Structure formats: C-alpha cells, structure tokens
Amino acid sequence: MKSKSSNVNDTNHLNKEENKNQPKREISSPSTLDSRFNQILRNVQGVLDFVSSASDASCGKRSPTFGRSFSENDTGTSDHVQNPMEVEDPSRGKSNNGNVNKLKSSPSNIENTSKGAHKSPIGTRATDSARVTKFTKELSAPTVILERLRELAWSGVPPYMRPTVWRLLLGYAPPNSDRREGVLRRKRLEYFDCVAQFYDIPDTERSDDEINMLRQIAVDCPRTVPDVTFFQQVQVQKSLERILYTCVDDWSISDITPEKISDIEADCYWCLSKLLDGMQDHYTFAQPGIQRLVFKLKELVRRIDEPVSKHIEEQGLEFLQFAFCWFNCVLIREIPFHLVTRLWDTYLAEGDALPDFLVYIFASFLLTVRISLSSPV
C-alpha cells in the first residue's frame, strides 16, 4: 500500500511528527497497519464510552449497538486480514442483552492484536464459525430482522456475505425474501432506463453543466483507488462513469456489458443512492454537512482531550484542513484499502447514525496519534 507514503505532507503535523518521533516504525508494513487500525477501532469504543457516560450526546441513541465487540471478522476466506480484533469493553456489558458473549477477549488477545501477531488465537475460529452460523440464520429467515442483522454486522460481516448484507442494510434489498428478487430485478431495469435516458445520448442533447460534469467524471474515474487494479479495469471504469453521471443527474449503459456486471452496476448505483440519502448535504454546494461535522469533531476533541486540542490550535492547524478529507471520503484514503470493507460493515450497520458515528471514529484517530501529536517539536 503506497497510498500512505504518497500522501505524506511535509508540513502536515500529524505525519511529520509521527515520522520524526518514530523513525523505526514501519508504517507501510501491512501487519503494522492492521494493528494500528485495530487500535483505532478500540479507541472508538473508548470515545463512545466517554460520550455515553458524559451525556446523552447525539450519537448515543444507537448505543445498544455499541455493546458488541468490534471484531475483525476474518472467516478464513479473506487473505489479507490476519488479526482478528477482539475487544469487549466490560463497561458496555450492561447494554448487552446477554446475546453478545461470543467474543471473549482476554487481555492476551489484545496484546496479540496490537503486536500484529499472525497466528489467530484458537478460540477465534470457533467464534467465527459461530458468527457465520448466526449470519446464515438471520439471512435465511423469511423476513430478515434488520435490527438483528445490524447488531451482527457492526462487528464485521464475513466477506462472502457482504453483497447480501450490505444490500439489506442499505434498505435496497427488501427484508422479505419472497419479494427480494423481484424488487431487485425491477430496480435494475429502472436503472438501465435511466442510463438510456440520460447517459446514452449524444452530447448535443446535454447541457453545458452536464458536459462539464462528464468531463470531471472522466478525469476522476482513473484516479479512483488507482493502486487497486480492480478499479483500473476498463469495464469497472465504464461502470463507475455511468454510475456517477446517473447519480448526479439520473441517466446510462452500453450493450456490450455482460448481464451480471450490469446487474452489479445497477445495484451499486442504488446502494450509493441509499447511502447518500443519509448525507445529502455532505456533497452539495460548499458541503455544509461536512463543515458541520468538522465543527462537531473539533468540539468533541476539545471536550475529551484539551491538550491535543490546544496543541493543534497552537500549531495554527485548522480541523478543516485535515478532517475535511476524512469526512469527504469517509476514511477511504486514510486506511489500507483491504480494511475499508470491514470498516464499511460498521458504517452500514450504523445506518442513519453514520454521520455522527464518523465524528467519533475520527476523534479516536486523533487520540491514537495523540502521543506523537503532543510531544514537543
């Protein structure tokens, strides 16, 4: 993953001081990254604890959901993630209704994880298969109970179940299994109609704004996750282009595309639409939604860690300068790409509470690097 190093900015104090103080740290080694990521997720729990005890902050409404352990759900099918992350915060136990005991995290487990140990503790596999069973049970019900699926998904979804689980969590696929296939088929056709109507038209029928939009999309598609080959395939690029154009304007598809890929494309379109429904004003002019969250983040950090907050201020660093990108790309740029899907399990489990949840994730990001942040230059 070269993304980290290529984004290092000399005067970005987070990076600069971190590098200075820990020159030996192999930032780019995957196992180190994984364990740092795990540490961040653990911090999220810490922050959530703080918040739920401090007040009924805006995000607290879903707090029962947080009563579960955050586990990197490696069911053996994924090849990159070796560290099952298991953290059970005892203080959260009260909000569990006794149904969350599958992950017993002993201190030694945490130790292993933070050191990036590659051998999974024996207990983990059993736990994972238990989790898979739970998922299978939920998904095979005539009507999926979304709240239960959310609870399970928050701690990680087995990779091969993601397509099903994500569609359900986003409210795209109906919970009722009898209706599911029919609805998906109808929505896909609807999408292809949009494509034909808005994308597959000559430029002469487009407005100037639409032409500019296409131009921008053509510039951006090749720059989407350029370090992951999947995204650089012609077909995926084409799909992305159509999804993005239809999304902003509603329109797109070419006849050559194999049926299956086009179904996925259609589903991606609807899933993206659903996702964006919850954060419309993050991506409108001047992105007021993001600006609001950046302000919330600044306030939260001030409340939970004043020294860091002061330090950032003294450095003349504005939260907007670093946190804007975090919110805008929901951390896709900040963490190794193979961990993104895991993070999204939790995002999607959060549902409507996602924007506020992001604030807490990012606060814990800052707490994770607080030592290097606040040490003298």
Partner 1 sequence: MAGYRAEDDYDYLFKVVLIGDSGVGKSNLLSRFTRNEFSLESKSTIGVEFATRSLNVDGKVIKAQIWDTAGQERYRAITSAYYRGAVGALLVYDVTRHSTFENVERWLRELRDHTDPNIVVMLIGNKSDLRHLVAVSTEDGKSFAEKESLFFMETSALEATNVDNAFAEVLTQIYRIVSKKAMETGEDVGNSAVPSKGEKIDVSKDVSAVKKGGCCST
Q: Out of 63, 325, 369, 370, point to the residue binding partner 1 (CB under 8 A).
A: 325
Per CB under 8 A, 283 contacts partner 1 = yes
Report d(CA 47, CA 41) in Å as an integer. 10
Kindly tell me which of 220 and 306 has the beta carbon lying closer to partner 1. Answer: 220
Q: Which 8-state DSSP code applies to residue 61? A: G
Alpha-carbon Rg for the chain, nearest whole angstrom, is 22
Task: Find out whether 34 and 115 touch, Cβ atoms under 8 Å.
Answer: no
Assess 19 for contact with partner 1 (CB under 8 A): no
The verdict on 237 binding partner 1 (CB under 8 A) reads no
Token pair listed for 272: 């993206």
Using rule CB under 8 A, residue 180 touches partner 1: no
Helix (H) or strand (E) holding 111: helix 107-114
The residues in 284-313 that bind partner 1, with binding defined as CB under 8 A, are 285-287, 291
Read off the tokens for 308: 């860091």
Q: Name the nearest CA neighbour of 50 among 312, 367, 294, 307.
A: 367
The answer to the question of residue 28 lying near partner 1 (CB under 8 A) is no
x/- track of binding to partner 1 for residues 194-223 (CB under 8 A)? ------------------x--xx--xx-xx
Coil/strand/helix, residue 173 = coil
Interface segment toward partner 1; rule CB under 8 A; list 7-15, 46-54, 110-118, 368-376: 7-15
The SS3 assignment for 189 reads helix
Does the footprint of partner 1 cover residue 256 (CB under 8 A)? no
C-beta of 284: minimal distance to partner 1 in Å?
Answer: 9
Q: CA nearest 304: which of 221, 370, 223? A: 370
CB of 173 to partner 1, least distance (A): 30
- Copy the structure tokens of residue 125: 């596999």
Which residues of the shown chain bind partner 1 in the complex (CB under 8 A)?
Answer: 3, 6-7, 9-12, 16, 212, 215-216, 219-220, 222-227, 283, 285-287, 291, 316, 320-321, 324-325, 328-329, 333, 377
